Structure formats: structure tokens, C-alpha cells
Amino acid sequence: MSQALRRGGGGRLARRIDGDVAGLLALLAVVVALFGVAAPGFLSLGVFTSVAFQLPELGLLSLAMLMPIISGGFNLAITFTANLSGLAMAYVLQSHGGADAGLGAFVAGVLAALGTGAFVGWLMGAVIAYTGAHPILVSLSAMIFVRGLGEFLTRGGDISGVPGTVQAIGQGTVGGVPAPLLVLAAAVLLWSVILSRSRLGFATRMIGSNIEATRFSGVPTRRSLTLIYTLSGLMCGVAGIVMLARFNSVRVGHGESYLLITVLACFLGRVDPFGGFGRVLPVAIALVILQVIASGLNQLGANQHLSTALWGGFLLLIMVVRSVWAGGFVQVMFGRR
């Protein structure tokens, strides 16, 4: 009996997952068709190549946001952590010749970027886990600290000039496929394995559902929370490397608007805003949808501020639709008898 129930529950979960993916793919097809009609030249190789190069940095930041949200938390410091990681790598490269830096400096710079991101994440996770402070307040404080530190180190300017080996990560191709897209694909695969196949992934969902019950069940919640935010910071470090490589420069304020879009991507990808449920594949598809929308608006010549307003409105719409869907439209409108 219990095995049959488990099989039935697994079947319902599989249908939900398949429904999420199918619905998002259908939405992607509709968005592409609409912009294909409204924006002349949208359905061209140049536009889709641009999407492929722009998507990875946003995708990596969304992955950095994903695990904290599933755990019932938040990481408001992702963009500034990524920029600080890029600054760490740029400083290493500049101290070893800048654009003429060798392979050793490149490796040291990558380690510096990843280490910086992981350290910021670890610091946030440790404070959240061992003090019980709310993740929004902790990450907001970390965001302000990291931003101020970055502006102090750069005096409000930027650092530019990286060797060709670094530029290849953000601007090159491998077999015709943009190199940063391959980095994103590897990150998506890694995050999918962690969330679906590891103890940490199980603990992340349990903590997001009920942290007290998870603690009493024997799961080391403090260690798990610290590791969740450390991995989030590590992914910010990867994003910082890609952004430095793509733009050949880094500054502390780059990509501030990405924060809203990463949250939007997670919620559009059916991640529960209160924690406990979320998958990587629907979020990846949601990212493609949002990037296609951004490129379509750009093709239509939409004002940047109007685009930001549309993102906020889209986020509100998703919250309303999800609330009505979760409660049942008929029950919401007419109530139960």
C-alpha cells in the first residue's frame, strides 16, 4: 500500500514537472512568435547569437539566487558579490601584466574570484545560520558592505584590460557555440545534480519547508545553510569571471538591474517564494523567455526605464496568477459551499 502511494505521489510530481516544462516551452514559443511579428528582423541569427551571449551572466546569477530561495531565504547581494569577485580577478591580472598576464596569473585570478565569492557567501550563511537573523536583512547588509568596499577599492571607477585567454571565456566560441553559454550549461547541470541527487539538495528543500522540523529530524541545518550560501557566493564568483571576460572590464555597479530579473526568473520557473520547492530546468527555460523578451523590447526600441517597469509589472502579475492558481479560481471567486 505504502509503495503504491509513493508511486502515485511520484507520478503526480512527474506530471507537475512535465506540466511546468511544457507550459514554459509553450510560453517561449508564443513570445518568440509575437516578437517575430512585431519586430522586423527579430527572427535572425544575429539576434539569437546576441541572446546566447547575454543569457549566461543573468543565468549564473539566477542560479546563485535559486538555492537560497528554495531554502526559504534570499540573497540580495548576488550582483555586487559577482562584481567584487570580478574585481579580485582583475586585480590579480593587473598585478601580473594586465593584458599581457600569463596562464599562471589567469589561474590565480580565477581562484581569487571564486574564493572571494565563496567567502562572501560563507559569511552571510554563517550569520544567518548561527544568529537566526532574517536572510533578507543579512543579505541586504552584505550588499551594502560589498558595494561600499568595491567602490572604495576602485574609487568609483572600473578596471579594464584582460588577456586574451580571459576574453575567450566571455567572447569566444567552441564549435560555433558561445563559450559563456557552455559555462552556463555546465553550471545548470551541476546545480541540477546538487538539488536532485545530493543530501544538500534534500536538506535545502526540507529547510525551506520547515526549518524547525528539519532540525529535529537530525539534519545539520546550520551547516547546510552555511553551505547553501557559500555555493551561492561561489556561483556569483563564476558570474563575475564571465562578466569580466565579456566586457573586458569590471566595476562595482555593473548589472544592478539583474537582481530583479533573477527573482523574476525563479518565480516564473515555478520556484516557491516561501521555500521548499524549485527545480533548475524550469528556471533555465524561464531565463530564456526573459532574455528573449529583453531582446525583443530592444528590437522595438523600448525605453530602458520602461523595460524595468515592465519587469516589475510582470513580477506582480506572476504573483497574482500563482496565488489564484494555488487557491483555485472557482474557490477564490465563489468560495466553497
Per-residue confidence band for 192, with pLDDT thresholds at 50, 70 and 90: very high
269 in a domain, yes or no?
no
Whether this prediction's pTM lies above 0.85 is answered by: yes
The range of the structural domain enclosing residue 93 comes to 59-257
Condensed to tens digits (0 to 9), the pLDDT of residues 258-288 reads: 888 898 889 888 898 888 888 999 999 999 9
Q: Judge whether 263 lies within some domain.
A: no
Instruction: Name the percent of the chain lying above pLDDT 90.
Output: 43
Q: Examine the pLDDT at 320 and tell me if it is beyond 60.
A: yes
- More confidently predicted of 140 and 24: 140
Rounded to 5°, angle at Cα 237 from 101 and 307 = 110
Report pLDDT digits (tens) over 97-148: 777 778 888 899 999 999 999 999 999 999 999 999 999 999 999 999 999 9
Confidence of residue 153 (pLDDT cuts 50, 70, 90): confident
pLDDT for res 138 = 96
Is residue 85 assigned to a domain?
A: yes
Within a domain: residue 223? yes
Confidence of residue 329 (pLDDT cuts 50, 70, 90): very low
Domain total in the chain: 1
Would you say residue 36 lies in a domain?
no
pLDDT tens per residue, range 51-100: 888 899 999 999 999 999 999 999 999 999 999 999 999 999 988 877 77
pLDDT at residue 140, as a whole number:
94
Q: Per residue in 157-177, pLDDT tens?
A: 788 878 888 888 888 888 888
Q: Report whether 166 contacts 245 (CB < 8 A).
A: yes
Average pLDDT along the chain: 85
Asked if residue 280 is part of any domain, the answer here is: no
Q: Cα–Cα distances in Å, from 141 out to 63, 80, 88, 127?
A: 21, 12, 20, 11
Strands (E), 113-190: 159-160, 173-174, 177-178
Mean pLDDT of 192-201: 93
Q: Which long-range contacts (CB under 8 A, 24 or more apart) does 297-300 make?
A: 299/35, 299/39, 299/41, 299/42, 299/47, 300/35, 300/38, 300/39
Residue 226 located in a structural domain: yes
Q: Which residue has the higher pLDDT, 309 or 226?
A: 226
For the ranges 23-32, 48-57, 141-150, the one whose mean pLDDT is highest: 141-150
| Confidence class for position 17, pLDDT limits 50, 70, 90 | low
Q: Binning pLDDT at 50, 70 and 90, where does residue 333 land?
A: very low
Predicted local confidence at residue 76, as pLDDT: 94
- Give the helix/strand (H/E) hosting 146: helix 135-154
Residue 332 clears pLDDT 60, i.e. is over it: no
Q: Is residue 201 part of a domain?
A: yes
